[in-house]
Structure formats: C-alpha cells, structure tokens
Amino acid sequence: MDKPPHGLSTHLQGAPQDAWMFGLRRLLWGFIRDAEAVLPSSTLLAKTEWHPQLLTNLKKLLSTTEGQFGLKAADKLGNKLAKTGLLDLPLTGAVEEKDWGPGIRVETIHQVKGESIGAVLYVTKKPNVDALLAGTLTEEGRIGYVAVTRARNLFWLAVPHTCLKALRPSLVAAGFEEFPARR
C-alpha cells in the first residue's frame, strides 16, 4: 500500500472497531481462500503460470481496495513481486496429480455449520476462549460451540501461550486436556 493508515496490519489482525475494516478483512479473507478466482493454485507452474496470475489478481484486488476503501497500491507492484528465484515447477513441488491428497481444509466456523469433520483446530485469542467457556449467550460463544461440535474424532483448541496460565484451570474444569503435557 502507498501510505497505509497507521497500524493497518495490527487492526487487520485484531478486532476491528470500524465497519470499513470488517469489509477489508472480508475482502482479504476471500482473496486468500479462493484458488480459482483470486489466489492462484499452488499446483500451477510457479514462474510461467502462477506468478502472472498472481500479479493480475493482485492488481484487481488492489484496484478493489482503492475503490472501496481508498487504499492506494504502492508503485511498481511488479518489481516488488518479481519472479526471481521461482522455478517452473508447482509451488507445492513436483507432485503428480494422481498423488494429490485432500490436503488441509481451512474454513471459517460459519462455513462448516451442519457438517461433521474428523478433526477440528480452533485457533483462538483470549476473548474467544472466554466466550467459549461462558456458553452460547453471545455470538463468540456460539462460534466456539459450532467449532467444538463439528469435530467427530478430535478437537484441538489453540490458546495463545501468553494467556494459557490464566485460562488453564477453567479449560481443565470444562473437560479440556492439555497436549503436550505441562513442562
């Protein structure tokens, strides 16, 4: 970005306070999630297929961010995203199509409502854990409930290390087991 607002990265990672920030996060999340229309598939040849599509799609994304949010793209984007060092192999490595596995599925909680999934990893911040432990009275609590109830065989709750000590007693009391065991 050319002269991005102060703290843009921090605000995108945290809980945005402004409505426009929610819209920008939604736009960026859609970008990284859509291998067909926006972020090119890592199975494409990096130098001749993936990189040109990435540049084209990033220019479209940046045009949208400028039009919707007034965030202007930095000059000479192509120079900043040079293909120097890219090989003409898929970014995933030389894998034959017959050997492609299902990979890891990344979804938001809202995208998996009603599904049963073998294993679920719910990556949280302290307020997410507090809401999960408090029950389903709030939207955050309901999101945590959906995360827990989607897991068929295994549910992992990723808790920030900085608040684990404070949350540990409540999590254990709620039936969570710690892995790996405390040191």
Residues 110-126: tens digit of each pLDDT:
777 777 888 888 999 99
Q: The domain containing residue 49 runs over which residues?
A: 8-99
Confirm whether 1 is domain-assigned: no
Q: Which of 99, 123, 141 is the last residue of a domain?
A: 99
Percent of the chain having pLDDT more than 70?
Answer: 86
Look at the chain and report how many structural domains it folds into: 2
Tokens of 13: 């990672």
Does 23 share its domain with 87? yes
Place of tokens 């039009």: 67
Q: How much is the pTM?
A: 0.50
Q: Which of 99, 123, 143 is the last residue of a domain?
A: 99
| DSSP letter, residue 97 | G
pLDDT of 130 > 60? The answer is yes
Strands 117-123 and 151-158: parallel
Tokens of 69: 């949010």
Band of residue 172 on the pLDDT scale cut at 50, 70, 90: very high
User: Which residue from 111, 107, 134 is spatially nearest to 123, judged by alpha carbons?
Assistant: 107
Report the C-alpha gap between 58 and 73 in whole angstroms.
Answer: 10
Q: Which of 67, 99, 131 is the last residue of a domain?
A: 99
Residues 33-51: tens digit of each pLDDT:
766 667 787 788 889 998 9
CB 113 within 8 A of CB 146: yes
Residues 5-17: tens digit of each pLDDT:
887 877 777 666 6
